[in-house]
Amino acid sequence: MNAFGIDIADFGSFKFFSNTLRVSIDGDEFFDVFKNFRGADGNELFLGLFDEDSSFTSVTFAATTRLPDFIGFDRLQYGLIEATPVSEPATLALFGLGLAGLGVLRRRKSRARA
């Protein structure tokens, strides 16, 4: 896979201490996300990871806190990212229509002043 996404609920919700979520990809060194996060009950976070150049096969999570924190993971998604081509002519046409509309408004405004 080269893309991974997950919803995280109630992270760092123990109100007296902050928490850090640590992530490792393919068993490499851990890195911190949501560092020293102090959330309220019911908070919802999203973590998305992707690698444009290569794929990865595992994601490992670890949490650091002084006291146990309860974390919920939901809606795990993983897979290959499919790039969707964007047609430039349509974008340019919309931009041109917007400019034309601004020109019409300006012309009406200058006629109203005269």
Residue 75: predicted pLDDT: 67
Indicate whether 4 pLDDT > 60: yes
Burial string for 3-38 (b: 16+ CB within 10 Å, else e) reads: bbebebbbbbbbeeebbbbbbebeeeebeebbeebe
Residue 74: predicted pLDDT: 65
Residue 89: predicted pLDDT: 76
> For 30-83, how does the pLDDT look when each residue is reduced to its tens digit (9 = 90+)?
999 888 887 777 788 888 888 877 888 888 888 776 565 566 666 666 666 566
Residue 18 confidence class, pLDDT cut points 50, 70, 90: confident
Residue 2: predicted pLDDT: 79
DSSP 7: E
